[in-house]
Amino acid sequence: MEQPVERLIFINGELIPASKASISVFDHGFLYGDGIFEGIRVYSGRVFKLDEHLDRLYDSAKALLLQIPYTKTEMSDAVLHTVRANDLHDAYIRLVISRGPGDLGLDPTKCAHPTVIIIADTIRLYPEEVYQRGMDLAAVAIRRPGTDVLNPAIKSLNYLNSVLAKIEANLRGLSEVLILNQAGHVVEGTGDNVFLVKGGALITPPTYSGILNGITRQVVLDLAHTRGIVTYEHPITLHDVYTADECFLTGTAAEVIGVVSCDGRQIGSGEVGKVTKLLREAFFSYARTQGVPAYAKGTLTL
């Protein structure tokens, strides 16, 4: 039986076998969730939307007064280097910047050196048959905190809100659920943006409702525009979900996945809709031809 390949993990400038990769127990990313991350895809040897992911990473760092010890160019090189080192052509990258080791107090100024980790591996959130037949959802009691409490534009390591919602999903035997904000509007899944199709138009919650402006979300909006599909960014309710013609979720890990029911209500025909299929196909066609080539000639500048 073929043994699984051990991945090499980038930690603070070094590539370390996964079985030996470690961080300090005093790291504030571990102790307090004080840090940020990005999930990035590799399609056909190209790192998809790398610049956009790094822009968001550095914006999150600025909001937290977290000083990343590499320039964007150096970080881009490190990501590409990690992908090549693991000989991956279709992959998922997890780029993590934590506050670094400190003491047992909260004070971030006690952490002198941030920890930089890059993991390149494969991922499959849902079985292929779920993508083909569509997903069943339910709304959960957990609410997204308001932007005045924790701004979702900061893609932080604190995902406890989503973990609690995922626990509800597991207890209900569901793969995913919908989370509402304090106003009762549908905002996201546990890690996905939400889209509805109604009367041929595409509707998605606006960023001010408390969502992360997902990079896959923006790509799908752009692809819809180029295909003449009318798009709206507007608050949506559960009633809107129940009565939609189609519904789908987007995310770096989930990509584009259709939804066929919510809270026991069939959505549309009860099958993955034609607009969902169109945009899913358009997304993959676009993603496989775009991005930064990981295997182009060049050397790591770190």
Tell how strand 46-47 and strand 35-43 pair up: antiparallel
* Backbone dihedral region for residue 172 (phi beyond 0: left; psi -120 to 50: alpha; all else: beta): alpha
Tell how strand 115-121 and strand 91-98 pair up: antiparallel
Cβ–Cβ < 8 Å for 235, 185: yes
Q: Which residues of 85-116 are buried (b: 16+ CB within 10 A; e: fewer)?
A: bbebeebbbbbbbbbbbbeeeeebeebeebbb
Which entry of 20, 110, 155, 274 is annotated as an active-site residue? Answer: 155
Cα–Cα distance measured from residue 167 to residue 192, given in angstroms and rounded to the nearest whole number: 16
Active site residue 198: no
Q: Which residues contact 32 (CB under 8 A, 6 or more apart)?
A: 99, 106
Q: Cβ–Cβ contacts within 10 Å for residue 1, how many?
A: 3
Cβ–Cβ < 8 Å for 271, 132: no
List the catalytic residues.
155
